Chain A
């Protein structure tokens, strides 16, 4: 049976894992290669490394980090942050990533999706969408808006439509972050996740808002998500992907166990 994936996400700045709220007050949280290997050992089904450096000089550091992280990692490995061209993506793949996650660059140049997909396959392209409900709209969920620049600036696109276009252009997966739910620990935006999942034929990864194990179970059932990003949950109570999955299994969610 196909299982629901728990994806460990590492925010990386200048070659180090960092923790912080909204990229402010960053705390050094270790070496990316060590942390990724630990998450894989502790049951994560996949690793996402998100580079928040976003400077030109930082690119080489990132590629070194990806290379070191990939060396001893034998689960799927996705890298996002600052990938603006097919050449950027190629370098990240050559360094050992299996997938790239692209966000604002795909909005600015939607051809980037097919450009990467045609060389490396659709399975290697994850389109990340930062979404906010539109409280003014008749249907705040269906008319939710895409945001860029860390959720500060509207992109002028509706989430569901952009997700559909990304699929048509050859994205293999959608990584949907609810900016409304992010950081609240009040649960994923299941309505929005379900709206996107129902609109596309490709898997949707839910992100933002996890506070309890039940929130994960909820986004897999009600939210129709195929995978969920776990980041801050590891800071409060639930110590590993494995313990998260053991509890999810007790709630009837199909997960990869033992792992």
Chain B
């Protein structure tokens, strides 16, 4: 199965591509070729680094193409900054809008005695009915590395506690995002990516 992976020149795609291949998918990378988004069966937006880098999605026209693909029902998965981009924006780069699939914005962890960034393996509290996280048992661990996070809302598919509860995953029809790195989260991460790859183009599980 073909998966269109969006490259917006913010960090390393190698791990995501390698993991998709391991799971039997054929990733195709685009950094501006809109036809790969227009014909996409699935879209993955990875991301490490700064929210401001998503400006490139607007500049290349990828934002509009992705918005249209999502409207067609193409399953979309944002990872880390790729998930944060689904929101209205982030205080990390206030002038840069996100896709706006969720009306709230991402913000930095509150000042506390804990370290920021949040780095390491933390557990998930999966909300009932999540298809992306189907089969993930209570307390399974995934790997995080981030300083900004989305708030807990109705679309939150899993909550993680660090300094405060935050959205570890979001899911609304065919639009999905994970704040953690499924490609770095051992068997649990592979299970989540398999769930994503098992959806049909209308967003229903096969």
Question: Measured between alpha carbons, how far is A219 from B185 in the docked complex, in Å?
Answer: 25
Chain B count of residues within 8 A CB distance of the other chain: 34
Which residue of chain B lies nearest to A197 when distances are taken between CB atoms in the complex? B115
Which one, B95-103, B117-125, B169-177, is touching chain A? B117-125
A93 at the binding interface (Cβ < 8 Å): yes
Chain B CB within 8 A of A162 CB? no
> Do residues B18 and A70 form an inter-chain contact, with CB atoms below 8 A?
yes
Chain A residue nearest to B122 in the complex (CB) = A2
B143 within 8 A of A: yes
* Cα A93 to Cα B15 with chains together (Å): 9
A residues near B48, Cβ cutoff 8 Å:
120-121, 123-124
Q: What does DSSP make chain A's interface, helix, strand, loop or mixed?
A: loop
Chain A residues lying within 8 Å of B143, measured Cβ to Cβ, are: 75-76
Once the chains bind, are A45 and B121 in contact (CB under 8 Å)? Answer: yes
- Write out the residue numbers on chain A whose beta carbons fall within 8 Å of the beta carbon of B146: 123
Q: Check if B152 is an interface residue, CB within 8 A of chain A.
A: no
Query: Are the CB atoms of A226 and B49 closer together than 8 Å?
Result: no
| Across-interface contacts of A227 in B (CB, < 8 A) | 120
A96 to B14, CA, bound (A): 6
B204 interface residue (CB < 8 Å to A): no
Closest chain A CB from B79 CB (angstroms): 13
Contact of A2 with B118 in the complex, beta carbons under 8 Å: yes
- Whether the pair A202, B117 counts as a contact (CB closer than 8 A) is yes
A75 to B15, CA, bound (A): 10
- Beyond A121-B48, A124-B11, is A75–B119 a contact (Cβ under 8 Å)? no
A45 contact set on B, CB distance < 8 A: 120-121
Distance to closest chain A CB from B119 (angstroms): 5
| B69-106 interface with A by 8 A CB criterion | none
| Residues of chain B within 8 A of A71, CB atoms compared | 18, 22
Chain A, interface size category, equals 20 to 34
> Does B15 contact A1, Cβ atoms closer than 8 Å?
no
B10 within 8 A of A: yes
Mark A7-38 against chain B: 1 for CB-CB distance below 8 A, else 0. 00000000000000000000000000000000
* In the complex, per-residue mask of B172-195: 1 if CB is within 8 Å of any chain A CB, else 0: 000000000101111101100000
The 0/1 profile, CB within 8 Å of B marked 1, for residues 151-192 of chain A is 000000000000000000000110000000000000000000
B141 interface contact, C-beta 8 A: yes
Distance in Å from the Cβ of B44 to the closest Cβ of chain A?
16
Q: With the chains together, A124 CA to B11 CA distance in Å?
A: 9
Complex alpha-carbon distance, A253 and B19, angstroms: 31
> What residues of chain A lie closer than 8 Å to B183, measured between beta carbons?
74
In the bound assembly, the distance between CA atoms of A94 and B187 in angstroms comes to 23
- Indicate whether B39 reaches chain A with its CB closer than 8 angstroms: no
Q: Which of A1, A76, A119, A202 contacts B122 (CB 8 A)?
A: A1
Binding site for A on B (CB under 8 A): 10-12, 14-15, 18-19, 22, 48-50, 115-123, 141, 143, 145-146, 161-162, 181, 183-187, 189-190
Please give 20 more A-B residue pairs, beta carbons under 8 A apart, in addition to A76-B184, A123-B117.
A1-B161, A2-B118, A2-B120, A3-B121, A3-B122, A70-B14, A70-B15, A74-B184, A75-B143, A94-B12, A96-B18, A98-B15, A121-B11, A121-B48, A121-B49, A123-B119, A123-B145, A173-B119, A226-B120, A227-B120
